[in-house]
Amino acid sequence: MEDDMLRTITIGSSLQVQGVAVGSSSDGKLTVKVGDKVYTGRPVPNLTQAKAYQPVNQTA
């Protein structure tokens, strides 16, 4: 993992945690450290990734 890279993860359906990325797993989950606590969850897409998921504007 890149040194001191802050990342945001989602745990469950609505809890988000932001911390220093310390690892990742083969199933796509990311581990972050906040102080002395470690959390694992789904990474929140960055702005560039989020734009790729925007629905196409369809007009009738």
Q: What is the dihedral of CA 50, 1, 28, 44, to 10 degrees?
A: -30
Domain map of the chain by residue range? 6-45
Q: Which backbone phi and psi does 46 adopt, to 5 degrees?
A: -75, 175
Per-residue three-class SS string for 1-60: CCCCCEEEEEECCCEEEEEEEEEECCCCCEEEEECCEEEEEEECCCHHHHHHCCCCCCCC
Cα Rg, the chain, nearest whole Å: 14
Q: Could you read off the pLDDT of 11-28 as tens digits, one per residue?
A: 999 999 999 999 999 999
Query: What is the band of 55 on the pLDDT scale with cuts at 50, 70, 90?
Result: low
Q: Could you read off the pLDDT of 25-49 as tens digits, one per residue?
A: 999 999 999 999 999 999 998 777 6
